[in-house]
């Protein structure tokens, strides 16, 4: 690597070519006048991945073709640890009912409540058990670029097929900084960018996506702004998945979306596949809209956690700050299951309205 202009490299660091701190002087040679130094932009020092790993990496086009991707729920044991037995059952149900991909550790899977060790372990577990039957997309995004880089390196190292990345939230950056953040991870492998201003507080504008789409690793965008934005991208050949279950039918059949990244498919994967694969079906969409509205009555994943507990496929264990929906909403869910048909929902037990005392809320785990 060539030396940065105006600076040298330490001889002791010649193997790694790290810039030498003692040479970062603010004084011009032969002059005592102070000159503000230019920022030293040091290229990423990522270790090269093994060639075999790169060759076995999923082709971005394989990710672009997915129509039904489930943002999979993470179930817990009573002490708050992962319930991998229940998790495996949930993923198997998705595979059996035609889901083509799962988002591991997303908002629905409560990646925000996981340590990075838990997060990468769950991605690796999913790949190890199911990677040959379904595409595993790890949510390795962060509002810290350093964390996003490290987690994405680890995610691809354990075999995930693609990464999901969100724009930096809370400590928001400029649009230029946002683009630089995504560019720091795009080179690692197939990537889906997730735009959900309601959670991040910042919209990813189309001109940023257009610039990022020049990278062949951009598989597409999970878009939550609405179908007009979806159309803006699809008209230019950018793959989009609807991030809003209640809009995904129209997004798919009227606005050119490839499919949906869905919460509702945790409950009725077969019906969501039908909605995405079998042509326009306004009656089925209308039948599912009340369920979708119910799921998002409170912020996700509160609704899906409550529903899966009442269906008996996940223990009624919540990691705080999430708490179950109130009894009135739990009773409403029982009625909806019966109206739509219990046979369409995951699990085999009869749906039941759980009492408040049935739930376990955990703050330390």
In a domain, 217, yes or no: yes
CB 352 within 8 A of CB 345: no
Compute the distance between CA of residue 149 and CA of residue 142 in angstroms, rounded to an integer: 9
Structural domain harbouring 162: 60-279
365 closest CA partner among 73, 83, 108, 71 = 83
Compute the distance between CA of residue 100 and CA of residue 154 in angstroms, rounded to an integer: 23
Determine the Cα angle at 305 with ends 222 and 136, to 5°.
40
pLDDT value at residue 13:
42
In a domain, 75, yes or no: yes
pLDDT value at residue 18:
45
- Number of alpha carbons in the 13 Å side-chain half-sphere of residue 293: 8
**Beta strands, E only, the chain:** 68-71, 101-104, 135-139, 162-166, 191-195, 218-223, 240-242, 259-262, 317-319, 360-362
DSSP string spanning 152-168?
HHHHHHTT-SEEEEEPP
DSSP string spanning 174-235?
-HHHHHHHHHHHHTTS-EEEEE-HHHHS----HHHHHHHTTSTTEEEEEE-S-HHHHHHHHT
In a domain, 205, yes or no: yes
Compute the distance between CA of residue 81 and CA of residue 118 in angstroms, rounded to an integer: 9
CATH of the domain at 111: 3.20.20.70
In a domain, 242, yes or no: yes
Q: Three-state SS for 13?
A: helix
Active site residues: 194, 222
Contacts of 186 (CB under 8 A, 6+ apart): 212, 215, 217, 218
Compute the distance between CA of residue 131 and CA of residue 303 in angstroms, rounded to an integer: 28
Q: Three-state SS for 140?
A: coil
pLDDT value at residue 8:
43
pLDDT value at residue 3:
45
pLDDT value at residue 198:
96
In a domain, 325, yes or no: no
pLDDT value at residue 57:
73
Contacts of 290 (CB under 8 A, 6+ apart): 336
CB 186 within 8 A of CB 199: no
Q: Three-state SS for 85?
A: helix
State how many domains the chain has: 1
What is the rounded (10 degree) CA torsion for 308, 311, 316, 322? Answer: 30
Query: Mean pLDDT, consecutive 10-residue segments, the chain of 365 residues?
Result: 44 44 48 56 52 68 98 98 98 98 98 98 98 98 97 96 97 96 97 97 98 98 98 98 98 98 98 98 98 98 98 98 98 98 97 98 96
94 closest CA partner among 302, 223, 262 = 262
In a domain, 175, yes or no: yes
Compute the distance between CA of residue 273 and CA of residue 348 in angstroms, rounded to an integer: 20
pLDDT value at residue 6:
42
Compute the distance between CA of residue 148 and CA of residue 116 in angstroms, rounded to an integer: 10
Contacts of 344 (CB under 8 A, 6+ apart): 268, 270, 271
In a domain, 260, yes or no: yes
In a domain, 3, yes or no: no
């Amino acid at each position: 690597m060539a030396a940065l202009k105006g600076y040298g490299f330490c001889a002791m660091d010649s193997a790694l070519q790290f810039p030498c701190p003692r040479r970062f002087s603010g004084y011009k040679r032969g002059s005592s006048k102070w000159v503000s130094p230019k920022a030293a932009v040091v290229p990423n020092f990522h270790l090269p991945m093994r060639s075999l790993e790169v060759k076995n990496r999923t082709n971005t086009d394989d990710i672009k073709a997915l129509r039904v991707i489930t943002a999979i729920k993470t179930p817990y044991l009573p002490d708050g640890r992962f319930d991998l037995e229940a998790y495996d059952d949930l993923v198997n149900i998705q595979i059996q009912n035609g889901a083509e991909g799962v988002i591991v550790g997303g908002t629905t899977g409560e990646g925000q409540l996981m340590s990075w060790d838990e997060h990468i372990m769950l991605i690796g577990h999913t790949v190890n058990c199911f990677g040959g039957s379904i595409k595993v997309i790890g949510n390795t995004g962060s509002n810290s670029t350093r964390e996003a880089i490290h987690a994405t390196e680890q995610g691809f190292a354990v075999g995930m097929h693609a990464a999901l990345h969100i724009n930096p939230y809370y400590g928001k950056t400029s649009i230029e900084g946002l683009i630089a953040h995504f560019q720091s991870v795009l080179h690692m492998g197939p990537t889906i960018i997730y735009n959900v201003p309601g959670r991040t507080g910042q919209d990813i504008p189309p001109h940023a996506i257009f610039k990022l789409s020049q990278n062949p690793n951009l598989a597409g965008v999970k878009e939550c702004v609405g179908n007009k934005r979806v159309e803006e991208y699809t008209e230019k050949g950018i793959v989009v998945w609807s991030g809003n279950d209640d809009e995904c039918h129209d997004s798919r059949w009227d606005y050119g979306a490839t499919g949906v990244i869905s919460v509702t498919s945790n409950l009725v994967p077969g019906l969501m596949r039908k909605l995405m694969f079998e042509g326009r079906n306004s009656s089925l969409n209308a039948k599912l809209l009340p369920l979708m509205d119910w799921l998002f009555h409170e912020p996700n994943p509160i609704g899906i956690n409550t529903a899966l507990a009442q269906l008996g496929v996940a223990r009624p264990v919540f990691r705080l700050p999430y708490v179950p929906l109130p009894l009135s909403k739990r009773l409403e869910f029982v009625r909806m299951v019966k109206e739509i048909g219990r046979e369409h929902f995951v699990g085999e037990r009869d749906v039941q309205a759980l009492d408040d005392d049935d739930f376990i809320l955990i703050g330390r785990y």
